[in-house]
Amino acid sequence: MLQREGYIPVWLESGLLDLYYNGFCNSVLWQLFHYVPLQLDGWQRVQEHQTLQMQWGAYQQANDRFGEVVLAVYQPGDMVWVQDYHLMLLPSILKNAVPRAKVGWFLHTPFPSSEIYRTLPVREDVLRATLRADLIGFHTYDYARHFISSCTRILGLEGTPEGVEDNGSVARVAAFPIGIDPERFAQALETEEVQMNIAKLLNRYAGRKVMLGVDRLDMIKGIPQKLLAFEKFLHEHPEWRDKVLLVQIAVPSRTDVPEYQKLRSMVHEIVGRINGAFGTLTYVPIHHLDRQLSFHELCALYAVTDVALITSLRDGMNLVSYEYVACQADNAGVLVLSEFAGAAQSLGAGSILVNPWNINDVAAAIEDALTMSEEERRERHRQNYMHVATHTAQTWADTFISELNDTHIEADLRLRHTPPELDFAEVRSLGAGVLGICLLACCSRYVWLRCLSTCMDPGRHKHC
């Protein structure tokens, strides 16, 4: 069925898939890009180093497989848009086979500072392969700047306002903030199903302020920090007890990984402690769900929420913030947003920005959000909604594709004006008189000659 819609499968054996996806992609690249350093204790054992080598080999092999499938269906003039850290070698594979191919690459996670990235053992290979793309895109200017900095510090290449230059070839690097389809949420809010859910929620939470967290159960989402901040808020503001509650949706992920199992246990322990300390027979401070809601259930919950709490420790963008804004036309709820989420650079003006590591900061932001005047709430929401309505997912895609077309045209023009490489053997074979006549007749190239080092093989006369 997917093939009828234009999808083409790439088949990977289970062993290769595990080493590639769970291994190098998620255990190495994903962690490093989210500022989680490689484990020091693992490097005390030779076996761990060998495992990394196997994962890297699987990553190369998987990228080769994708390249084979793409090249099998590629036709001249096609555009190839490569997505995310799983396929950072693919631009090089495609360009080696089809040098004039139009190739773009976009990263959906953060790109770390060069000090973090340089710890990757295969740092040069990954950078050089990615740089073969005509256009390299990131969510924010910070991520783009970090990438260019890594190229200059690790590869010794020149960073320019356009991107990265390597021997006259320029890989353009730019920011393309992704968005959502706000119209989809607006239409959903008008449906009978969502309106019924809204009525039920308003009746259930009547007389109380509702705060909401919607996160994947992941180490970088900052769920424990959010819960601890709410606990501190209830400690310091007893007048708000029984008047505010937090609905936390924690969508399970990687349930077979021990670290994630520990995280789930930690979250459950904190939730139980807070509910036990501040709950009553008629009031539970935290409503915690370990499951994913349907789209219509989520839209209704967004609509009735007074404060959204997003405390990511590191996030490429975080589109939950966009979805919340899209569903708040009537309520004009307050968005409390981590400064470490990519969305902070887009929605920062209309949000309360917080450092999620600072529990006092987040607790104070909760108080500010709950006591904010309606006039300020509506003005902040207006600013955020303007951005969400303008920078949609379709706009993101259209802008990237347009820029990739323009970048490819500019590269072609630059290539036409680049003179061919000088054939050293041919020049050396010319006599001095003939060479002088050739230089006088040449009008498109200027050759600077030095007696010894120019006309001799540089490999045999390094002292010259």
Phi, psi of 390 (to 5 degrees): -90, -45
When pLDDT is cut at 50, 70 and 90, the band that residue 410 belongs to is confident
Active site residue 108: yes
Residue 35 to residue 28: CA distance in whole angstroms = 11
Pick the catalytic residue from 215, 218, 306, 315: 315
Q: Average pLDDT in the 375-400 region? A: 97
Per-residue pLDDT for 12 more than 90? Answer: yes
Position 133 confidence tier, pLDDT thresholds 50, 70, 90: very high
Indicate whether 455 pLDDT > 50. Answer: no
Higher pLDDT, 285 or 44: 285
Tell me the pLDDT band of 411, cut-offs 50, 70 and 90: confident
Q: If pLDDT is split at 50, 70 and 90, which confidence band does 424 have?
A: low
CB-count burial class (<10 Å; 0-12, 13-18, 19+) for 133: buried
Of the residues 108, 237, 287, 296, only one is catalytic, namely 108
202-259 pLDDT, tens per residue? 999 999 999 999 999 999 999 999 999 999 999 999 999 999 999 999 999 888 888 8
pLDDT of 451 strictly over 90: no
Instruction: Note the pLDDT of residue 254.
Output: 83
pLDDT tens sequence across 21-59: 999 999 999 999 999 987 655 545 556 668 889 999 999
Residue 429 has pLDDT above 90, yes or no: no
Residue 452: what pLDDT?
46
